[in-house]
Structure 1
Amino acid sequence: MADLEAAPVSYEDLADIEDEFEEVDTEISSRLPHNLNVRKQYELSASLYAKRSAAASKIPNFWSLVFEQAPVEIDQYIQPHDSRIFAESLVSFEVRRPELDTKGSGNPRSISVEFEFKPNDDFEDTVLEKTFWYRRSRDGWSGLVSEPVKIRWKKGKDLTEGLTDGAIALWEARRKTGDMAAKGLPEYTALKKKVESWNGMNTSFFTWFGWVSGRRWVSAEECEKANAEYAELKQKRKTGGKLDIPDDDAEDDAEADIHDDDVEVHQAGEELAISFADDLWPNAIKLFTQAQEDDEISEADFEDLDGEDMEDDEDGDGEPVDIRALVQDKGAKGRSRDSTGSTGPPSKKVKK
């Protein structure tokens, strides 16, 4: 949670961190293969992300303001009631590469996304974390898969209208049967009915936590076998060896078991995970700064800054601009006031 007594953070501090990120990007050769590029960037940027997180913790509403400016690939799935939760309760946000953290040489395309919230009126959880594993199936497909994450909604507060709970119930039922594609289950029928009742509409961003796969679940064991087969196939191609071509019937059987879209509670699970990792997380400072620029500062505000802090800073002796104070002052603009005159969280903006 933000420490209001901590030393102020200046725009210059954030700009310095952003410059260091750009230096890392420049250092990494664009000629590196994608996997090596991501791996090296993750290694070199780790200390910078820790430094940025420390600075962000001193700025109230830092992450809620970042989410206000989220790229359209993310923002289109954040409903006004989701935005209220982010504005009121979001404390921190983090993206990690779990296979690099635990294995070092693991697949850098696996992603873990963590949200931390302060106690709130909507759910019991203070941390919601979802991990996406990059896996290859034995029929040649590769992509992200994930397990559904339980959200402990308070009574009457479930913004997903039971969709995430339905995804959990089906997941557990399939695990019991040992068939992660099983459809002859009451949990499958119940979830399919719920999904169809929404006719493809997104009830809440939080349905994302129930996402499993845009195709079908692929286990770690299947992935390991598929990777071994793929490596063998690549070697045979290099040496001109004989390739085993599957018969048409086998391909048809595999294809018939591919899609599970009719019970997928969020259609853009993989795309959102990638957008968090590739866009919002690395560009958080830029998005935060954009949030400041989008809220108009009056000429008087500029004159005050020019006449006091900025004039002192020209000599290098002045105190840094207290961003926390600016955020709090700025945040009051455009917010509704109750009968006591207090202000609520920033309302969700309509993106153009």
Structure 2
Amino acid sequence: MAASLEDTGVTYGELADLEAEFEDVETEIIRKQFEMTKPLYEKRERLVSQIPNFWPLVLEQAPPDIDEWIQPTDSAVLLMSLTRLSVSHFEIENGGNGEPRSVSIRWEFNENDYFEDRVLEKKFWYRRSPEGYTALVSEPVEIRWKEGKDLTNGLLSLVKAVWDEEQQNGVTANKKEKKPLTAKQQALKAKIEEVGLGGQSFFCWFGYIGDRISAEESAAASAKEAENRARKRAGQPALPEAEEKEDEDDEDDDDDELEIFPAGEEVAIAISDDLWPGALKYFIHAQEDDEISDREFEEMMDQDSDEDDEMEE
């Protein structure tokens, strides 16, 4: 049965305002939680740095939101070469007053057969669109692959080239102007269709961009929302909405077609909100699984020995 607000005296606007107040409180909770837990994470880092293969074992127990994207070749790199994983709320580090839901995810590696980099760091900015919705947006991170070892089959290099072209030509700033795909964008689109998104490498995640929401657009949208809420409290009408262009949805479709890892935001949230804070829990699960495997192996060996003895008799 669909719920209706008719004859209740409650408006959708009041519900939306209350939801916004909850969001404000949640933002402050995240900020305060960061301040309170930072010393604990530093203590955890000192302890786990003494445990061999801590982060590979944690990643081996990753929740489905992460694990489903890790291919066997990715697993070989991550489990053999990953030395440290860390998450930081970079906009509020050192007393900053930025957005606490912006996160940076940093991966540190030993020397390996696949790429030259020892550190891969990907930042996600929490931004508000002119239409009012919020999302994590990012920039592609280049990986210096060794000869013939590119696990992304060239996708990451292509999306980085397209991104650099956009920044140089101001495509992002004028994204609502419908334009034909450039040669680099066409090459990226063709490569995505060739490779397919079903079995792409986890390292394609480093190429995730998301919605093209600039810092300026986000600041303006947040200021407009704050002003509208103030006007409502004062009994004044909200500011007029910006006129939408007819081809805006088509432009969004183009962005989706050029995204090499559509689930990039979800994976970032799973890492920052689940895997990272729950690392000790996942490590303990890994130890328990090892103990069970050892016990099952011993029981199997004992059973085989008993069967051999019976055959000898």
The TM-score, its normalising length taken from structure 2, stands at 0.81
Pick closer, same or farther for the CA change 1:188–1:267 going to 2, 3 Å. Answer: same
Deviations 1:141-194 (A, max 9, x none): 211100100000000000000111011000011111101246531111010111
1:99 aligns with 2:91: yes
Corresponding residue number in structure 1 for 2:230: 235
The one-letter code matched in structure 1 to 2:230 is Q
Between the aligned partners of 2:239 and 2:96, the Cα distance in structure 1 is 33
- Count how many residue pairs are aligned between Structure 1 and Structure 2: 270
Alignment equivalent of 1:137, drawn from 129, 134, 139: 129
Deviations 1:34-60 (A, max 9, x none): 112211111111111111111111111
Corresponding residue number in structure 1 for 2:271: 276
The one-letter code matched in structure 2 to 1:262 is E
What are the within-5 Å matches in structure 2 for residues 326-341 of structure 1? Answer: none
Quote the offset at 1:253 in angstroms. 4.8
Pick closer, same or farther for the CA change 1:200–1:59 going to 2, 3 Å. Answer: same
Quote the offset at 1:255 in angstroms. 3.8
Between the aligned partners of 1:211 and 1:149, the Cα distance in structure 2 is 9
Pick closer, same or farther for the CA change 1:59–1:133 going to 2, 3 Å. Answer: same
Between the aligned partners of 1:78 and 1:232, the Cα distance in structure 2 is 44
Q: Contact 1:139–1:254 (CA<8 Å) still a contact in 2? A: no
Quote the offset at 1:234 in angstroms. 1.4
Deviations 1:245-302 (A, max 9, x none): 437x626454443341101000110001100011000110110010011122656999
Q: Contact 1:138–1:223 (CA<8 Å) still a contact in 2? A: yes
Quote the offset at 1:196 in angstroms. 1.3
Between the aligned partners of 1:250 and 1:31, the Cα distance in structure 2 is 26
Deviates more, 1:237-246 or 1:156-165: 237-246
The one-letter code matched in structure 1 to 2:252 is I
Pick closer, same or farther for the CA change 1:230–1:208 going to 2, 3 Å. Answer: same
1:174 aligns with 2:166: yes
Corresponding residue number in structure 2 for 1:207: 204
The TM-score, its normalising length taken from structure 1, stands at 0.72
Corresponding residue number in structure 2 for 1:338: none
Between the aligned partners of 2:47 and 2:209, the Cα distance in structure 1 is 34
Corresponding residue number in structure 2 for 1:184: 181
Pick closer, same or farther for the CA change 1:202–1:100 going to 2, 3 Å. Answer: farther
Q: Contact 1:98–1:112 (CA<8 Å) still a contact in 2? A: yes
1:120 is paired with a residue of what secondary structure? coil
Corresponding residue number in structure 2 for 1:258: 252
Q: Contact 1:135–1:143 (CA<8 Å) still a contact in 2? A: yes
Pick closer, same or farther for the CA change 1:102–1:223 going to 2, 3 Å. Answer: farther
The one-letter code matched in structure 1 to 2:124 is F
1:79 aligns with 2:71: yes
Pick closer, same or farther for the CA change 1:178–1:197 going to 2, 3 Å. Answer: same
Quote the offset at 1:227 in angstroms. 1.4
1:226 aligns with 2:218: no
Between the aligned partners of 2:70 and 2:246, the Cα distance in structure 1 is 38
Corresponding residue number in structure 1 for 2:106: 114
Pick closer, same or farther for the CA change 1:254–1:298 going to 2, 3 Å. Answer: closer
The one-letter code matched in structure 1 to 2:127 is R
Between the aligned partners of 1:47 and 1:154, the Cα distance in structure 2 is 38
1:258 is paired with a residue of what secondary structure? helix
Between the aligned partners of 1:154 and 1:87, the Cα distance in structure 2 is 18
What are the within-5 Å matches in structure 2 for residues 151-166 of structure 1? Answer: 151-166=143-158
The one-letter code matched in structure 2 to 1:222 is E
List alignment gaps of at least 5 residues for structure 1: 1-29, 303-352
Q: Contact 1:124–1:153 (CA<8 Å) still a contact in 2? A: yes
* RMSD between superposed Cα atoms in Å: 2.3
The one-letter code matched in structure 1 to 2:83 is V
The one-letter code matched in structure 2 to 1:192 is K
The one-letter code matched in structure 1 to 2:270 is S
Deviations 1:71-115 (A, max 9, x none): 001000011111111111000000110111156221111010000
Pick closer, same or farther for the CA change 1:47–1:121 going to 2, 3 Å. Answer: same
List alignment gaps of at least 5 residues for structure 2: 1-21, 299-313
Between the aligned partners of 1:299 and 1:211, the Cα distance in structure 2 is 42
